[in-house]
């Protein structure tokens, strides 16, 4: 037993016996772009060892055609990761390695977070997300795990998952990375024809305008306004626009001073489904 | 860069490069008793290295007489800790080591948790608690820190502190340890005359009866009933009895199915202030 009286003595003793290394995890489905690169860079800057997982999780696709079409670009992904740091460990398991021969989701109660927006339009999507993220956190056991705010609802659900399962990990949310024209980075952007990809700046521009209006207009008024803007642009088919608080993701009845709000949007451009969101206050 | 495809390969590679040791912290003000011992045992069972701090924090005492009287028993404390494990590191800094020459609290906003019960009766107490716990967490940087549920309000405030300051630590609450007659273990119990200490079982007995009534009676009715019980026992002067939810520590208006409630009590026995609490559902 050791009795220590000064901070310096304590600190040097602890570092001599602990020698801990921090482990960070960046879970991805591959098809990496600059948005992923920003998560990986942040993980590298905050941890001693970083694992990037590449796994296209079948249980989070309600649309089996979408799963089939999901791009697989392992060679390019390795190069992008390599560009951030050569020390990164890539974990790219097979479906069998993760699910054995039982490719199914667990069923989760995320307190309602799973029923709105993406949850309403993508059946059992978040059960699939919860299942794979829970598995990966238990396999890798990182100190911190990094997720993009582009999938903000997913981010909040993963925070809830960690709470429900009492996992010993810090979930780090990272800002959306955008293309030069404002379109949120997404692996799906590659599937857009060039002209349409350029025009898709319209989605972010509309969110920025919604944010501008949030100081003076009601959430309903803004949602109606956004809907009308999309009615005028048939190249983009609006699936939903929803202004909610960031904690429960419930529609705004009356704005409260101490609450944070976001606008969430899902849009089809041709057959390609795009999502985006923005902090309003 | 390493590309790994199986869980086993990942797990053995990670453990070879990380070699992490978990650090646990048990902050105390010394005058250790079996309640502290249970915290230390839990910390030893869940971590590779444990630091017990012994520091009578001046900024959390509103009553300077109480601070002066606070028992200092470093020899006995070392023996108790030694009895749990010889490997434990004791950190017992001086007031100067922690505060330099500025013995003051930071001012915290714990979202209202600091204004009720102990906060209402002990001026700036929780600013002092927040200041010292924040310092110790930053000096020791543990993975987990252990606090007793006897100071349940303090426990919730520390959880809030960790949230506010975004500290990378898991706060572990541990059940109240009681003397044979039910009196909650406290360093202050030593100051009770033997007969009074025996009779002080009355406090816990009253909480148990309150819990019994909670199924059928309103919180107000129970609080009134407890007040009347104490009126009949002039050896004990009730400071407060308060039935609240466990999250916000606010008085119960209407019981809700999905909420957890506790009864909190503060009592003077002679000049000795005793607190206790109990889960009601």
Q: Where are the domains of chain B?
A: 22-174, 187-279
**What integer pLDDT is reported at residue A18 of this predicted model?**
75
Q: What is the mean predicted confidence (pLDDT) over B220-232?
A: 97
Residue-wise pLDDT for A110-133, tens only, equals 999 999 999 998 889 999 999 999
**What integer pLDDT is reported at residue B259 of this predicted model?**
92
Residues with Cβ within 8 Å of residue A265, at least 6 apart in sequence: A203, A206, A207, A226, A238, A240, A241, A242, A275, A276, A277
Three-class HEC string of chain A: CEEECCHHHHHHHHHHHHCCCCEEEEEECCCCCHHHHHHHHHHHHHCCEEEEEECCCHHHCCCHHHHHHCCCCHHHHHHHHHHHCCCCEEECCCHHHHHCCCCCCCCCCCCCCCCCCHHHHCCCHHHHHHHHHHHHHHHHCCCEEEEEHHHHHHHHHHHHHHHHCCCCCEEEEECCCECCCCCECCHHHHHCCHHHHHHCHHHHHHHHHHHHHHCCCCHHHHHHHHHHHHHCCCCEEEEEEEEEECCCCCECCCCCCCCCEEEEEEEEECCEEEEEEEECC
Q: Which of the residue ranges A253-257, A274-278, B93-97 has the most confident prediction, judged by mean pLDDT?
A: A274-278
CATH match for B187-279 among 3.90.550.10, 3.30.750.80, 3.40.190.10, 3.30.1300.10: 3.30.1300.10
Measure CB to CB from residue A1 to each of B21, B82, B141 and give the nearest one: B82
Does the beta-carbon distance from B5 to A94 stay under 8 Å?
A: yes
Does the beta-carbon distance from B21 to A21 stay under 8 Å?
A: no
Does the beta-carbon distance from B5 to A139 stay under 8 Å?
A: no
Measured CA angle at B168 (ends B163, B173), to 5 deg: 70
| Choice between A70 and A175, residue whose per-residue pLDDT is larger | A175
Does the beta-carbon distance from A139 to B11 stay under 8 Å?
A: yes
B130 neighbors B157 (Cβ within 8 angstroms):
yes
Q: Is the ipTM of this complex over 0.95?
A: no
Chain B, 254 to 273: residues with Cβ < 8 Å from chain A are: none
Residue B271 has pLDDT above 80, yes or no: yes
**What integer pLDDT is reported at residue A79 of this predicted model?**
95
**What integer pLDDT is reported at residue B59 of this predicted model?**
96
Nearest chain B residue to A81 by CA: give it.
Answer: B1
**What integer pLDDT is reported at residue A101 of this predicted model?**
85
Residue-wise pLDDT for A169-204, tens only, equals 899 999 999 999 999 999 999 999 999 999 999 999
Residue-wise pLDDT for B119-154, tens only, equals 998 889 999 999 999 999 988 989 899 999 999 999
Residue B19 has pLDDT above 80, yes or no: no
Split at pLDDT 50, 70, 90, the class of A22 is confident
Which positions of B are annotated as active-site residues?
36
- Domain A22-174 fold is Rossmann fold (3.40.50)
């Amino acid at each position: 037993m050791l009795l220590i009286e000064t901070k310096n003595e304590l600190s040097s003793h602890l570092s001599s016996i602990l020698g801990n290394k921090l482990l960070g995890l960046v879970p991805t489905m591959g098809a990496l772009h600059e948005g992923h690169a920003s998560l990986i860079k942040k993980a590298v800057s905050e941890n001693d060892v970083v694992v990037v997982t590449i796994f296209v999780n079948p249980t989070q696709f309600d649309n089996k055609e979408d799963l089939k079409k999901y791009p697989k670009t392992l060679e390019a992904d390795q190069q992008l990761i390599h560009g951030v740091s050569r020390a990164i460990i890539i974990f790219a398991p097979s479906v069998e390695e993760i699910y054995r021969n039982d490719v199914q989701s667990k069923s989760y109660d995320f307190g309602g977070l799973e029923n709105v927006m993406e949850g309403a339009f993508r059946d059992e999507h978040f059960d699939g997300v919860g299942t794979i993220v829970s598995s990966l956190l238990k396999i890798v056991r990182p100190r911190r795990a990094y997720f993009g705010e582009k999938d903000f609802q997913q981010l909040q659900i993963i925070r809830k998952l960690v709470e429900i399962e009492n996992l010993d990990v810090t979930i780090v949310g990272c800002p959306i990375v955008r293309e030069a024209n404002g379109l949120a980075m997404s692996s799906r952007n590659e599937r857009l024809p060039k002209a349409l990809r350029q025009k898709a700046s319209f989605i972010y521009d509309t969110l920025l305008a919604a944010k501008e209006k949030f100081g003076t207009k009601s959430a309903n008024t803004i949602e109606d306004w956004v809907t009308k803007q999309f009615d005028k642009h048939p190249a983009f088919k609006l699936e939903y626009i929803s202004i909610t608080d960031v904690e429960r993701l419930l529609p705004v009845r009356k704005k409260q001073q101490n609450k944070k709000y976001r606008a969430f949007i899902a849009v089809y451009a041709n057959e390609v489904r795009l999502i985006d969101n923005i902090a309003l206050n």
